[in-house]
Amino acid sequence: MNRIAVKDKITNKGLKFTHQRMVILKALEASVAHPTAEQVFDLISIDNPSISLGTVYKTLDSFVHAGILRKFIDQKGVMRFDAILEAHSHLYCKDTHEIRDYRNDAFEQLLKDFISKNNFEDFEIDEISVVFKGFKKTETII
């Protein structure tokens, strides 16, 4: 994501565009690992030594409140961040605790159809979270 797209994404949500916000959002957009605040800090601190861990936490929180990011707690109770707001699922490796995005249009449509055809009595669903848990396959070399 280029600087203009990042700036638009930040300002369109009513936030002031700053260098710190740009760097943090670009790091999240480039990450597929659903990083923690500490991991984001580690990614950006070498090239941006003036950005503190506190700034990263505050910025991530403001992005979540503005609807730029989603946050969730992983299987170990650690807060993680996801830059993809569209419906998607996740693959969670029980060994490495790696979290990857999983997108499948047929599965997403199946979920939408299920929700529209069923009554959830006085409850409006606005988000679905599906996590497939298992183990990452390793390649066998013969």
Report yes or no: 117 and 77 within 8 Å, Cβ to Cβ: no
For 95, the enclosing helix (H) or strand (E) is: none
Beta strands in 78-120 (DSSP E): 79-82, 89-93, 99-102
Tens of pLDDT, residues 28-69: 988 878 899 999 999 999 999 999 999 999 999 999 999 999
Identify the CA nearest to 82 among candidates 120, 122, 116, 33: 33
> What is the pTM assigned to this prediction?
0.79
Report yes or no: 70 and 56 within 8 Å, Cβ to Cβ: no
Higher local confidence (pLDDT), 139 or 74:
74
- Residue 141: phi, psi to the nearest 5? -100, 125
